[in-house]
Structure 1
Amino acid sequence: MNANRKLGAASVPLTDEHGEVRELSAEDFARQRPTTDFPELVEILQNHGKLGRPPLPEAERKQRVTLHLDRDILAALKAEGKGWQTRANAALRRALGL
């Protein structure tokens, strides 16, 4: 069933064509259903705990360290955006021939 529909009744979509959520009305909240209406979802959430990627085996996990870097090096890494720590790790691997 479409998440934007009440059983048997049409409603205004909750999102626009860009995926932006509109301001919700009292009618929107009145149409919401309790979690108990979705027992399979409740079971998944209760049995799997945290959502997301499963943990890596110990040997493959990265180790947290504190590292002091020159400001210009850090600025250059961060200038490329998200993932700067992964890029720093890759650069160190290359530099060390690993």
Structure 2
Amino acid sequence: MHKSDLVAAVADLADLPKEKTNDVVSAIFDEITNALSRDETVNLIGFGSFSQRHRAARTGRSPKTGETIQIPASTSVGFKPGKALKDSVNG
């Protein structure tokens, strides 16, 4: 499912125009992004939670040459599904 598919589905369910629904969906995504950039956790009860995941710098090995390389520290986004989401996916 792409964003446009999500917007169309929500517009049909909520009986709203697609343009207005697109603005709402975009605002939700923007606010989740802003909260994560402030290192806040976003909890959506029943759906799941988004949070920053910090990875420490480490030593790795290049698969091409076998040479030892330094992998820098990084930050990424993690998602932990909520119970209701897990239950619906698992049947």
- TM normalised by structure 2 equals 0.24
Higher relative contact order (CA 8 A, sep 6+): 2
